[in-house]
Amino acid sequence: QNDEAKAVVFSVPSYACQRRTTLDNHNTILTDALSLLAEKAELSEEDGRGVAFRRAAAVLKCLPQPVTNMMQLRGLPCLGEHSFRVIKDILENGTSSEVESTQQSERYKALKVLTGIFGVGAKTADRWIRAGIHNLRQLQTSGQTLNQAQRAGLQHYDDLNLPVTKAEADAIGEIVEEAVVSVLPDAQITLIGGFRRGKLTGHDVDLLITHPDEGKEVGLMPKVVSWLQSKGFLLYQKTTINSYLESEEGPRRPSSNMDRFERCFSIFKLQKKVEAAQPETQAENGIQHHKSGCRLWRAVRVDLVVSPISQFAFALLGWTGSKLFERELRRWAGHEKAMSLGSHALYDNRQSRYLRATSEEEIFAHLGLEYIPPSERNA
Ligand code: 8DG
Ligand code: MN
Ligand code: MN
C-alpha cells in the first residue's frame, strides 16, 4: 500500500531508561492527550492504567519526528489497545473524544482543583468531592479540617500553581547555599529534579545537599531549616529525619521507592526582583506598597534532601527524574538484572551484595545500560 511505503517506521527499545528523551518533543499533541489520561487514572487511583499511559506517552516523546500515520506505530513498544484508539482518534479527527469529555467532566475538574492544593492527594480530594466539595470556595466554607500542609497550600494556592522559573530556582539555590555553608562549610548543594534535566520551568525546586566527609552531614537539615526560618525565608516546612542509619538492623535492601534521607518539604518566601522602573512608594499609613499594587514576594515549593557522600550518586540519580525514567530504571534493574535500585544503593540479588558507585555513569554501567545524561532523561 502507498501509505505504508511512505511511512517512516521507528525503532524504539522498550524501557525508557534505554532511550534518549530530550525536551524536544515532536508529538506534543499526542503526548499531552495520553498524559492527561494518565493523570485522570492516577487521580482515580488506577495506578496500573496510569503507568500504561505514561509509558505510551514516553515512547512518542522520544520519536525523531511527528507521527502522521498509524502505520508508523507498528513495532513500537508499550502502546496498548487503549492508547492506539486515542492516537487514531487524534490523527483522524484532530482531537480525542475521551480527552475532551474528561476535560469537561465535573469530577475531573474538581479533582484537578483540589489536588492542586499542596498536601492534598487523590484520596482526600475524592473524600471531599463525595462530601459535595468541588472548588476552593466550597472547601473554605465546608468546615472540613485541614492539616498544616493543606492550610499552607490553600493560603498560597495561586503562587504554588504558577510555574517556577529557572531564575527563581537559581535564586532559591543561592539562599539555600548561604544557609548550608553558614552551618556547615564545605557542604555542597546540587540542583536536581526537572531543572537538572534542562527544563525551563517546574512545579518546585529540588536541591540535594552533601558533604565530602562521610558523617559530617548528619543532623544538617534541622540546622539549615533553623537558619532559613530565622531569616524569614520559610512560609511552611516539614522536616523528616534519616531513619536509614538509625534502623536497628543496619542497612537493608532498599525497599523500592522508600526514602530514608533527611528531607524537608517546604514553601519558600521568595523576594521578587523589583524592576527599576517601578520604585517603591511610601503610603500615608507607613506600610510599603508597590506602585503596581502587586506583592513583593511569591511562594515557591522547595524540596531539600541531605545525602551522605557514599550514597550521593544514587541520590543524584534517584532525584533527577523524570518520575517515569526512575520507575523504568528500577523495573530494568529488577526484571532484567535481578538487582534492586533505590536512591540509597544498588543491591545485586545474585551476588547478594551492594554495588558501590561514586558517579551516575558507574550506576548505569552496573546496570548494563548505556549512560543517559540528565538532559536525555525527560521520558
Ligand atoms: P517538576 O518539579 O518540574 O514538576 O518535575 P520534577 O522535578 O521532575 O518532579 P518532582 O515531583 O519535583 O520530582 C523530582 C524527582 O524526585 C523525581 O525523580 C521523583 C523524585 N522523588 C519525589 N519524591 C521522592 C521520594 O519520596 N523518594 C525518592 N527517592 N524520590 C522522590 O518526588
Ligand atoms: Mn521538581
Ligand atoms: Mn520535588
pLDDT of residue 278: 55
CA–CA dist 261, 304 (Å, integer): 10
DSSP line for 146-166: --HHHHHHHHTHHHHTSPEEH
**Most informative mutation of 258, 303, 372 for ligand 1 (most atoms within 8 A of CB):** 303
Closest CA to 231 of 155, 151, 174, 301: 174
**Is 24 annotated as catalytic?**
no
Pocket probe for ligand 1: among 192, 307, 323, the residue whose CB has the most ligand atoms within 8 Å is: 323
Only one residue has cell 522520544, namely 62
Length of the chain: 379
Question: So what's the pLDDT on residue 146?
Answer: 98
The CA-based angle 267-125-98, given to 5 degrees, is 110
What is residue 273's predicted lDDT score, i.e. its pLDDT? 86
Cell numbers found for residue 352: 547478594
Q: In this structure, which ligand is nearest to the CA of 304?
A: 3
DSSP 287-309: -EE-TTS--SEEEEEEEEEE--G
Q: Are 99 and 37 in contact (CB under 8 A)?
A: yes
* Rounded Cα–Cα distance for residues 138 and 124 (Å): 15
Tell me, yes or no, if 206 is annotated catalytic. Answer: yes
- 281-282/288-289 β-pairing: antiparallel
3-state secondary structure of 37: helix
How far apart are the CA of 84 and the centre of ligand 1, in A? 29
Distance of CA 88 from the midpoint of ligand 1 (Å): 32
Instruction: State the Cα–Cα distance between residues 354 and 346, nearest whole angstrom.
Output: 6
* DSSP H or E segment with residue 238: strand 234-240
Contacts of 239 (CB under 8 A, 6+ apart): 221, 222, 225, 262, 263, 264
Q: List, chain by chain if needed, residues with CB within 6 Å of any ligand 1 atom.
A: 193-194, 199, 202-204, 206, 259, 318-319, 321-323, 326, 343
204 in active site: yes
Which residue type sits at 44?
Answer: S
Cis ω for the linkage preceding 322 (within 30 of 0): yes
Q: What does the block give as the cell for 95? A: 482531537
Q: Are 223 and 198 in contact (CB under 8 A)?
A: no
pLDDT on residue 249 = 42
Q: Which of 113, 89, 108 is nearest to 33 (CA)?
A: 89
d(CA 160, CA 204): 8
pTM given for the model: 0.92
**ipTM, 2 dp:** 0.96
Atom of ligand 1 nearest to the CA of 204: 2
Question: 3-state SS string over 129-142?
Answer: HHCCCCCHHHHHCC
Of 102, 84, 78, nearest to 30 by C-alpha is 84
What's the pLDDT score for residue 250? 42
Ligand 1 atom nearest the C-alpha of 321 is 18
pLDDT at 256: 39
Q: What angle do CA 183, 189, 191 make, to 5 degrees?
A: 145
Task: Kindly report the protein residue whose alpha carbon is nearest to atom 4 of ligand 1.
Answer: 203
Tens digits of pLDDT across the chain (379 residues): 455 556 788 889 999 999 999 999 999 999 999 999 999 999 999 999 999 999 999 999 999 999 999 999 999 999 999 999 999 999 999 999 999 999 999 999 999 999 999 999 999 999 999 999 999 999 999 999 999 999 999 999 999 999 999 999 999 999 999 999 999 999 999 999 999 999 999 999 999 999 999 999 999 999 999 999 999 999 999 999 866 544 444 444 444 344 678 999 999 999 998 876 655 555 455 455 556 668 899 999 999 999 999 999 999 999 999 999 999 999 999 999 999 999 999 999 999 999 999 999 999 999 999 999 999 999 9
Amino acid 261: pLDDT: 87
Q: Which residues contact 30 (CB under 8 A, 6 or more apart)?
A: 57, 60, 67, 86, 87, 90
Q: Which of 32, 47, 170, 206 is catalytic?
A: 206
